[in-house]
Amino acid sequence: MNDQANSRSDDAADSQIVSALARGIRILQCFSMGDAELSARDLVERTGLPKPTALRLINTLAEFGLLRYSERISKYVLGTEMLSLAAPALGRMTIRQIARPMMQELADYCHGQVTLAVGYRLNMAYAEVIQGEGSAVYRSETGTRLSLSRTASGRAYLWTVPGEEREQYLQETLARDPAKGELLAQRLAQAQQELRAHGCTISHGDMQREIHSVAIPLSAPIDDEYWVFSCSIAVFNISGNQLTDDIAPRLMSLVRRVEAALGSMTGAAHDMETRPWSVSAN
């Protein structure tokens, strides 16, 4: 009887997903900053959809302006309607407007880049990217996905989300690539030590050898979304322990000022005191 009940529950959950819509979303998710132009063949191969099904979905997405076929390059690109859809998503994120002048001040001070990333479940992307005067850091576009394992922001995010989500990501990585999973486990352990010692996670050229970063998460999520601030500086603009002794405290001050403006400690999804690390407010 219980097995039948569980089966009905699973069927009910599956019935909430419209397969055609899910397949269309899979097509849109094939595009990224590194793959902004894709052929129909690329989309068929990446989604694993039957060619006739994929072509119908591609034509439908193009009809609504979400995709566009470029005659110049003979490939599909994301359509301008995607910008219209993204605008309300960015506009509702009040934290961006509050943080932007503080981020600019810090970016100019350190001649680097200050970013604000947002994550939900196991997906994370830049919501704001501020370039300082004289910065030598490559400017990522708003909306660019972040690596959860190879960035200071990603590791800070993984230590902010509920533990079961972090463990799920680690186990999935271990199953897919044991060597990469072991490295991730080491990085997570190191990130935890960094949070305890400095209140931030640190990257010494993980993604780009010449770029070093520190990242600090907000103490609590906002409407189930988790936010992380990061400051990145070219290695030739850093002297001694400046990253942890000077930049990290300034970034911490920025985070706390933003939290004060937002009142983000109210309604925390889970109690900060139960976490294996804590960040000093001083």
Model confidence pLDDT, tens digit, residues 12-68 = 445 577 889 999 999 999 998 889 999 999 999 999 999 999 999 999 999 999 999
Average pLDDT, the chain: 87
Which long-range CB contacts under 8 A does 87-92 form with residues at least 24 apart? 90/127, 90/142
**Range 93-274 has CATH code 3.30.450.40:** yes
pLDDT digits (tens, 9 = 90+) for 227-251: 999 999 988 888 888 999 999 999 9
pLDDT in tens, 91-122: 999 999 999 999 999 999 999 999 999 999 88
Confidence of residue 269 (pLDDT cuts 50, 70, 90): very low
Looking at residue 14, its pLDDT comes to 53
Max Cα distance, the chain (Å): 68
Res 74: pLDDT: 95
pTM comes to 0.81
The pLDDT assigned to 33 comes to: 84
2-84 in CATH: which number?
1.10.10.10
pLDDT of residue 266: 44
Residue 257 has pLDDT above 60, yes or no: yes
**Surface-to-core class of residue 133, CB atoms within 10 Å of its CB (0-12 exposed, 13-18 middle, 19+ buried):** exposed
Higher confidence at residue 153 or residue 18? Answer: 153
Quick check: do 2-84 and 93-274 share a fold? no
Domain boundaries defined on the chain: 2-84, 93-274
